[in-house]
Structure formats: structure tokens, C-alpha cells
Amino acid sequence: MTSTLDLTFAALADPTRRAILSMLLEDDMAVTDVAEPFDISLAAISKHLGILGRAGLISQERHGRVTWCKLEPSGLRAASIWMQGFGQFEPVDLDAFEIFLAAELGSTR
């Protein structure tokens, strides 16, 4: 379970990847459509998608020449269960968790 958590939190650590997950929350998207709002290369987006895929947060499926990305909400299950063990994270609020982490990391510097 630790490696699953490590992959999940590593994937969520990047704001671009969190933005991609938010976009995929609305609907499945082609890789080129995922890349459109970002000012980075398609290769960089592909790397982000690979990290999200290895963490189990998205899946990709090729239809002809187009690769489609789909959100896999069950990929957050282990992280959700882990956070619920702390009690203060009953419904998982990843924005609040990000603020908490930023505050904690900021206080150690």
C-alpha cells in the first residue's frame, strides 16, 4: 500500500497534474485536448499523463490515431482511506490537504 500511496501523492504533488485531473473530471479527453490549455510541449504533457497513469489516476486508450484519457476515481481510494485515518479529513478535500502540506512544509524551512 505504501508504494501506491507514494505514487498517488507524487502524482498529486504537481499543479499541472492536478489541473489535468480536474479537466478529466468533466469528461474523457484526447491527449491533444488535454495539452491545449497548457503552455508546455506535448511531450511534457505526455510525461505528466504517464505519471498519472502509473499512479492509477487515469487510463489511456487508443482509438485509431487518437489517444483518449479517462479519469480513474478509484485510483484515489487508497489515499482517501489513508487520510480518513487521521479523522480530520473525513470527506477528502485535496485543496485543503494541499494548503495543509504547504503550511507544514513552509514551517520547516
- For residue 29, is pLDDT > 60? yes
Q: How far apart are CA 28 and CA 100, in angstroms?
A: 30
pLDDT at 1: 56
Q: Are 17 and 99 contacting, i.e. CB atoms less than 8 angstroms apart?
A: no
Q: pLDDT exceeding 90 applies to what percent of the chain?
A: 64
Range(s) of the domain holding residue 53: 2-107
Residue 52 belongs to domain with CATH number: 1.10.10.10
Per the CB < 8 A criterion, the answer to whether 31 and 71 are in contact is no
Count up the domains in the chain and report the number.
1
